Structure 1
């Protein structure tokens, strides 16, 4: 199960290269969130209901989770630079399909393809850890993850603004072009890197189960990540429905601008990475989990008050980023030679939690409106606290 890690001088990844990786991961991850502020516009343009259009949120996250399981482990098997660039080109093809979709079925097909192959982002994150000095890996991962989280948050804003300028298709077409350019740039900027131990694909997939069985804290941190992202996804799948409704009547661009608040959350990724390097990972997780609980209280007050919505969104994005980086700080130290596979286990659970949260958010909205959404999100946040308690006990036993 253990394997030898590729040894590359830490100077290989300069700050400009890390920033390029951050932009690429941001675009890859963000590509799965373009639809969120556009749901009503998509529903009108493709002649489907808002609830049907909202299914694309769940579909994108399920496709991403499947891609994590099938393709991210290849980072411990294939040459990593080629893998990341190739996946990005395939994701660009999915974006173009969505960008020229004339039917809901075609949009779903493009969404699935983008979700499957945009997992290129998750091949770049463990590369940042692998190709950096051990004492600086937290900083490197935090920087790249800042880009990823910024991409998720800015995607909603960019989609809303471009929709007002040229229609809901515009963001997909523009992102597809940018994805191709970044794939080529990464091919030229990144060093060649591969695991010197030869592995077959069947071995790689079987080892995922073995890694999860062998490392209790991989299981506990995956559970924590899945529950926290599920809680946040309850919000992501329903905020557009609230803000575009009669209470606020906001347009696509205005809804997208709400996502800009989350940039503070993305900046938390860099801070959390540095705290992990100093050994404060558990404390960071606990503090951010408390913020997650508080955020749902603020959001509950936002039924008729936009400032409370804005505050709750800000807090929930900070909480998600801090917990996620703390989780990665733990799991990447479990087996440095299997980081891609460990990341695949964790991120598959992470986005399976996101898909579950999106589905629960849509269900809660239909059954109980905004109050139902807040209850569902708060319950998942409380369950996350139990998962963190379990991880704390495991850490004490080491």
Structure 2
């Protein structure tokens, strides 16, 4: 009898130890995932910042290369063009190769391009270096789908939101950092400092970031071509891409005309005022993880619906308070939160559509996103001189209405079963 009781006691103790070990492993796993997501957020922010470093330095470029002063504006244009090309040609490789290795290779290439930019003897070298910087800055487009791969399905939205917050902060703080370093140490020091930051980041990646498992064996040309087949196959990808494009068109419409509004009566502010509004946009970066968490709990479609309503409300605020600085600030916060929450929720949804093709579906979504942004900027350039700020606000409402109608036409789509990539 005593022996039996002793045996039962030992079993209970062993069971408690096992439960304790299991709980400890879960906490460790959660902490490990959180650390990896913060690292991926840093990777996204530090890499994408390189696209925006040159924007506050244009006057310094003009002073360094006075013989090419009329062509200085080509530098940021080539950087953006390079980023678009990199999204289309490099970002899909995350399905074919280890993302960790791709990130490290792109960082190495970025350091070389930044070195050429820092030492550029003329504008031609700086322009081509900027093109390469843009292409390689698509490291960020490896980090975002990597986060979806690492996280469990129930936490995918929050994971994507965490990494996107890093990317957004990189965009917001890049101009401020470049302006500060450029003012006190010269524009070449900005690129040199970025090289140092990337080398430190690479060392952390080698130490901490795990390898990813390739999900496709397609040759490169077929890998790129397969994106069209994904568009045809996945209704949810088409819906989210069109919704995202329309919302980003509204977003770009606003930001491309804000400086014109602030330059006129009754504000008469310089271009730096529009830049300060970018700091207000940090609300979107702070809201990103929350949007992802709500997308996990309520479903991404519900969050996108709410986000579209917020974006529409922001343009109503703009129309009614075009001469009120407080109204503009409120509208910027509402617009930024709405657009960023919609992007994160849409990305959370598309990553579940075809897990073995996450890099490619992300590329399709982001290319559509930037096409929408270009369309919004073009509409702003047309509407502003003819109809002023009220016309811009109405155009923004029309874009958000288009996003809402497209979103309403869609319906929940079950994720495709994971499997071997085509």
Q: TM-score, normalised by structure 2?
A: 0.79
Structure 1 residue ranges without an equivalent (≥5): 1-8
Q: Please tell me whether residue 296 in structure 1 is matched to residue 315 in structure 2.
A: yes
Q: Is the 8 A contact 1:223 1:387 kept in 2?
A: yes
Q: Please tell me whether residue 380 in structure 1 is matched to residue 399 in structure 2.
A: yes
Q: Secondary structure at the match of 1:333?
A: helix
Q: State the distance in 2 between where 1:240 and 1:212 align.
A: 36
**More off after superposition, 31-40 vs 216-225:** 31-40
Q: Is the 8 A contact 1:13 1:131 kept in 2?
A: no
Q: Please tell me whether residue 181 in structure 1 is matched to residue 200 in structure 2.
A: yes
Q: State the distance in 2 between where 1:170 and 1:256 align.
A: 22
Q: Is the 8 A contact 2:106 2:136 kept in 1?
A: yes
Larger Rg: 2
Structure 2 residue ranges without an equivalent (≥5): 1-27, 417-422
Q: Is the 8 A contact 1:17 1:190 kept in 2?
A: yes
Higher relative contact order structure (alpha carbons within 8 Å, sequence separation ≥ 6):
1
Q: Secondary structure at the match of 1:117?
A: helix
Q: Secondary structure at the match of 2:212?
A: coil
Q: Spell out the pairing of 1:118-267 with structure 2 (5 A cutoff).
A: 118-166=137-185, 171-195=190-214, 197-243=216-262, 247-250=267-270, 252=272, 255-267=274-286
Shift of 1:48: 11
Q: Spell out the pairing of 1:13-52 with structure 2 (5 A cutoff).
A: 13-35=32-54
Shift of 1:212: 1.2
In structure 2, relative to structure 1, the CA distance for the partners of 1:387 and 1:192 (3 Å cut) is same
Number of residue equivalences: 387
Aligned Cα root-mean-square deviation (Å): 3.5
Q: State the distance in 1 between where 2:244 and 2:68 align.
A: 31
Q: Is the 8 A contact 2:97 2:213 kept in 1?
A: yes
Q: State the distance in 1 between where 2:294 and 2:135 align.
A: 32
Q: State the distance in 1 between where 2:260 and 2:196 align.
A: 30
**More off after superposition, 257-266 vs 207-216:** 257-266
Q: TM-score, normalised by structure 1?
A: 0.83
Shift of 1:113: 1.9
